[in-house]
Every structure is written in structure tokens, then in C-alpha cells.
């Protein structure tokens, strides 16, 4: 084998190993990252309190002042 072939083989193996480590790290990060909550976010129009409630609720009562509020749309 020529020197150019040896250097090319070394670089290809090194890049493959680096790619494998990056993929493994990304999969590991996704496994331990918290999942997004399905809850809806509400903000009280009277007192400004921000709170969450179940995803199937369209209107929710504020736990601070008792006013009914619509979910925040992003």
C-alpha cells in the first residue's frame, strides 16, 4: 500500500469513529432529556398568574383569584 492510501484509510476510519460517537451522544441526550408536556398554558386576565392545566380543557379557573381564562395561543 502506498502512503497516500494509508493516510486516506486512517482519515476515513477516524471520521467514521467520530461520527459514531456523535450519533451515540445525540441518542443518549434525547433519551435522558425531559419530554415536552402536553398541558395547556393559561394566563389570568385579572391577576396575571400563569398556570397549566390538562390538554383537554378549553377554559380553566385561576387558582389564585378564580377567574375563568382561555388558553394562550402561540
Which phi and psi (to 5°) does residue 71 adopt? Answer: -70, 150
Neighbouring-strand partners of residue 50: 43
pLDDT at 37 over 90: no
Q: Are residues 4 and 29 both part of a single domain?
A: yes
Q: Are residues 21 and 2 both part of a single domain?
A: yes
Q: Are residues 2 and 28 both part of a single domain?
A: yes
Instruction: Please state the rounded mean pLDDT for residues 10-20.
Output: 98
Question: Rounded to an integer, what distance in angstroms lies between the CA atom of residue 6 and that of residue 25?
Answer: 29
User: What pTM did the predictor assign?
Assistant: 0.53
Q: Are residues 22 and 48 both part of a single domain?
A: no
Instruction: State pLDDT tens for residues 46-72.
Output: 999 999 999 898 899 998 998 999 998
For 1, the domain range is: 1-33
C-alpha cell at 49: 398568574
Q: Are residues 1 and 19 both part of a single domain?
A: yes
Given this model, what pLDDT does residue 33 score? 84
Q: Are residues 2 and 25 both part of a single domain?
A: yes
Given this model, what pLDDT does residue 51 score? 94
Q: For the chain, how many structural domains are there in total? A: 2
Question: Rounded to an integer, what distance in angstroms lies between the CA atom of residue 71 and that of residue 51?
Answer: 10
Percent of the chain with pLDDT over 90: 68
Amino acid at each position: 500500500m502506498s502512503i497516500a492510501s494509508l493516510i486516506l484509510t486512517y482519515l476515513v476510519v477516524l471520521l467514521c469513529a467520530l461520527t459514531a460517537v456523535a450519533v451515540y451522544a445525540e441518542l443518549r441526550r434525547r433519551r435522558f432529556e425531559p419530554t415536552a408536556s402536553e398541558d395547556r398554558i393559561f394566563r389570568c386576565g385579572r391577576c396575571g398568574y400563569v398556570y397549566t392545566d390538562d390538554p383537554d380543557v378549553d377554559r380553566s379557573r385561576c387558582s389564585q383569584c378564580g377567574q375563568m381564562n382561555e388558553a394562550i395561543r402561540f
